[in-house]
Amino acid sequence: MAAKIKKKGIYCIEGLWDHVNIQDETTVLPILDLLEKKNYCDHIYHDCATKSELEYFLEKWKKKTVNEKYPILYLAFHGDPGYIFLTHEDKYSLTQLAEFLGDKATGKIIYFGSCSTLNIDKRKINSFLETTGAIAAIGYKRDIDWIQSTACDLFVFEALQSDSLDTKGQTKLF
Protein backbone atom coordinates (compact mmCIF):
# COMPACT_ATOMS: atom_id res chain seq x y z
CA MET A 1 0.00 0.00 0.00
CA ALA A 2 1.43 3.38 -1.02
CA ALA A 3 2.03 6.02 1.62
CA LYS A 4 -0.62 8.70 1.78
CA ILE A 5 0.60 12.02 0.41
CA LYS A 6 -0.04 14.98 2.73
CA LYS A 7 -2.26 17.75 1.35
CA LYS A 8 -0.32 20.77 0.16
CA GLY A 9 -2.25 23.95 0.90
CA ILE A 10 -2.24 26.89 -1.47
CA TYR A 11 -1.54 30.42 -0.28
CA CYS A 12 -2.88 32.74 -2.95
CA ILE A 13 -2.22 36.43 -3.40
CA GLU A 14 -4.20 37.88 -6.29
CA GLY A 15 -3.84 41.22 -8.01
CA LEU A 16 -6.44 43.29 -9.80
CA TRP A 17 -7.36 41.96 -13.23
CA ASP A 18 -8.96 45.17 -14.46
CA HIS A 19 -7.08 48.19 -13.16
CA VAL A 20 -9.60 50.63 -14.65
CA ASN A 21 -12.94 49.05 -13.72
CA ILE A 22 -13.11 48.98 -9.93
CA GLN A 23 -16.32 46.93 -10.13
CA ASP A 24 -14.58 44.05 -11.89
CA GLU A 25 -15.13 40.85 -9.92
CA THR A 26 -12.78 38.57 -11.85
CA THR A 27 -10.99 36.22 -9.48
CA VAL A 28 -9.24 32.84 -9.25
CA LEU A 29 -11.00 32.16 -5.94
CA PRO A 30 -13.58 29.72 -7.44
CA ILE A 31 -10.83 27.26 -8.47
CA LEU A 32 -9.37 27.37 -4.96
CA ASP A 33 -12.82 26.83 -3.49
CA LEU A 34 -13.38 23.89 -5.87
CA LEU A 35 -10.12 22.22 -4.81
CA GLU A 36 -11.05 22.69 -1.16
CA LYS A 37 -14.64 21.48 -1.57
CA LYS A 38 -13.42 18.38 -3.41
CA ASN A 39 -10.99 17.81 -0.49
CA TYR A 40 -7.80 18.15 -2.55
CA CYS A 41 -6.29 20.89 -0.39
CA ASP A 42 -6.96 23.89 1.79
CA HIS A 43 -6.22 27.45 0.76
CA ILE A 44 -5.72 30.95 2.07
CA TYR A 45 -6.66 33.77 -0.26
CA HIS A 46 -5.80 37.49 -0.25
CA ASP A 47 -6.25 40.17 -2.87
CA CYS A 48 -3.89 43.08 -3.14
CA ALA A 49 -3.13 46.11 -5.29
CA THR A 50 -0.05 47.68 -3.74
CA LYS A 51 3.53 46.75 -2.97
CA SER A 52 2.92 47.18 0.76
CA GLU A 53 -0.11 44.85 0.63
CA LEU A 54 1.85 42.27 -1.36
CA GLU A 55 4.74 42.35 1.08
CA TYR A 56 2.38 42.26 4.06
CA PHE A 57 0.78 39.02 2.80
CA LEU A 58 4.15 37.56 1.76
CA GLU A 59 5.41 38.29 5.28
CA LYS A 60 2.50 36.26 6.67
CA TRP A 61 3.31 33.36 4.30
CA LYS A 62 7.01 33.39 5.26
CA LYS A 63 6.12 32.26 8.78
CA LYS A 64 6.93 28.57 9.14
CA THR A 65 3.59 27.88 10.82
CA VAL A 66 1.87 29.10 7.65
CA ASN A 67 4.11 27.96 4.80
CA GLU A 68 4.47 24.44 6.19
CA LYS A 69 0.71 23.97 5.82
CA TYR A 70 0.49 26.09 2.63
CA PRO A 71 3.69 25.26 0.73
CA ILE A 72 2.36 26.40 -2.65
CA LEU A 73 2.58 30.17 -3.06
CA TYR A 74 0.19 31.14 -5.87
CA LEU A 75 0.77 34.63 -7.26
CA ALA A 76 -2.16 35.45 -9.53
CA PHE A 77 -1.40 38.71 -11.35
CA HIS A 78 -0.90 40.18 -14.77
CA GLY A 79 2.73 39.79 -15.79
CA ASP A 80 5.64 40.60 -18.05
CA PRO A 81 8.94 38.75 -18.46
CA GLY A 82 10.51 38.74 -14.99
CA TYR A 83 7.68 40.72 -13.37
CA ILE A 84 4.21 40.61 -11.87
CA PHE A 85 1.98 43.71 -12.14
CA LEU A 86 0.54 45.31 -9.04
CA THR A 87 -1.18 47.94 -11.20
CA HIS A 88 -0.87 48.74 -14.89
CA GLU A 89 2.11 50.97 -13.99
CA ASP A 90 3.61 49.29 -10.91
CA LYS A 91 5.67 46.11 -11.36
CA TYR A 92 7.32 43.80 -8.83
CA SER A 93 10.32 41.87 -10.17
CA LEU A 94 11.37 38.30 -9.50
CA THR A 95 14.58 39.77 -8.10
CA GLN A 96 12.60 41.88 -5.62
CA LEU A 97 10.48 38.85 -4.73
CA ALA A 98 13.54 36.66 -4.19
CA GLU A 99 15.17 39.29 -1.99
CA PHE A 100 11.99 39.77 0.03
CA LEU A 101 11.40 36.03 0.52
CA GLY A 102 15.03 35.23 1.27
CA ASP A 103 15.33 31.54 2.14
CA LYS A 104 11.78 31.34 3.58
CA ALA A 105 10.58 29.45 0.50
CA THR A 106 12.97 26.54 1.07
CA GLY A 107 11.29 23.34 -0.06
CA LYS A 108 8.23 25.22 -1.37
CA ILE A 109 6.71 25.88 -4.79
CA ILE A 110 6.16 29.35 -6.23
CA TYR A 111 3.43 29.34 -8.85
CA PHE A 112 3.15 32.38 -11.09
CA GLY A 113 -0.38 32.60 -12.46
CA SER A 114 0.67 35.51 -14.64
CA CYS A 115 1.36 35.89 -18.34
CA SER A 116 4.97 35.77 -19.51
CA THR A 117 6.55 36.13 -16.05
CA LEU A 118 8.84 33.15 -16.61
CA ASN A 119 9.78 34.14 -20.17
CA ILE A 120 13.30 34.90 -18.94
CA ASP A 121 16.72 33.31 -19.13
CA LYS A 122 16.92 30.01 -17.21
CA ARG A 123 19.86 31.41 -15.25
CA LYS A 124 17.57 34.07 -13.76
CA ILE A 125 15.05 31.41 -12.78
CA ASN A 126 17.84 29.32 -11.25
CA SER A 127 19.10 32.37 -9.36
CA PHE A 128 15.56 32.94 -8.06
CA LEU A 129 15.39 29.32 -6.90
CA GLU A 130 18.83 29.51 -5.27
CA THR A 131 17.99 32.69 -3.38
CA THR A 132 14.59 31.50 -2.16
CA GLY A 133 15.35 27.81 -1.71
CA ALA A 134 12.13 26.97 -3.59
CA ILE A 135 12.11 23.60 -5.32
CA ALA A 136 10.18 24.97 -8.29
CA ALA A 137 9.05 28.15 -9.97
CA ILE A 138 6.10 27.29 -12.19
CA GLY A 139 4.34 29.66 -14.54
CA TYR A 140 3.80 30.95 -18.04
CA LYS A 141 6.38 31.92 -20.62
CA ARG A 142 3.84 33.60 -22.89
CA ASP A 143 0.59 35.52 -22.79
CA ILE A 144 -2.39 33.23 -22.26
CA ASP A 145 -6.15 33.74 -22.18
CA TRP A 146 -7.50 34.21 -18.65
CA ILE A 147 -9.95 31.27 -18.80
CA GLN A 148 -7.31 28.95 -20.27
CA SER A 149 -4.74 29.94 -17.66
CA THR A 150 -7.23 29.48 -14.83
CA ALA A 151 -8.13 26.01 -16.10
CA CYS A 152 -4.43 25.17 -16.42
CA ASP A 153 -3.80 26.44 -12.88
CA LEU A 154 -6.54 24.12 -11.60
CA PHE A 155 -4.97 21.10 -13.32
CA VAL A 156 -1.49 21.94 -12.05
CA PHE A 157 -2.69 22.38 -8.47
CA GLU A 158 -4.49 19.05 -8.63
CA ALA A 159 -1.36 17.38 -10.01
CA LEU A 160 0.84 18.92 -7.31
CA GLN A 161 -1.25 17.11 -4.72
CA SER A 162 -0.42 13.68 -6.11
CA ASP A 163 3.26 13.39 -5.25
CA SER A 164 5.85 14.36 -2.69
CA LEU A 165 6.94 17.96 -2.32
CA ASP A 166 10.54 17.58 -3.36
CA THR A 167 12.42 17.82 -6.64
CA LYS A 168 12.08 14.06 -7.25
CA GLY A 169 8.31 14.14 -6.73
CA GLN A 170 7.79 17.25 -8.81
CA THR A 171 9.97 16.01 -11.68
CA LYS A 172 7.49 13.15 -12.17
CA LEU A 173 4.75 15.68 -12.88
CA PHE A 174 6.41 17.75 -15.56
For residue range 101-160, list pLDDT tens digits in order. Answer: 999 999 999 999 999 999 999 999 999 999 999 999 999 999 999 899 999 999 999 999
Q: What are residue 11's DSSP bridge partners?
A: 44, 73
Q: What is the mean pLDDT of residues 11-23?
A: 90
pLDDT at 5 over 90: no
Give the model's confidence band at 163: pLDDT under 50 very low, under 70 low, under 90 confident, else very high: confident
Instruction: Fill in the amino acid letter for 27.
Output: T
Give residue 88's pLDDT. Answer: 77
**Higher-pLDDT residue of 4, 68:** 68
Strands 83-85, 10-14: pairing is unpaired
Query: What gap in Å lies between CA 15 and CA 144, rounded to an integer?
Result: 16
Nearest to 107 by CA among 69, 57, 81: 69
- At residue 174, does pLDDT exceed 60? no
User: Closest by alpha carbon to 142, among 79, 54, 76?
Assistant: 79
Q: Is the confidence at residue 4, as pLDDT, over 70?
A: no
Across the chain, mean pLDDT equals 91
Nearest to 165 by CA among 112, 92, 111: 111
Cα–Cα distance between 65 and 84 in angstroms, integer? 26
Q: What is the pLDDT of residue 165?
A: 78
Longest dimension (CA), the chain: 54
pLDDT of residue 20: 83
The predicted pLDDT at position 24 comes to 87
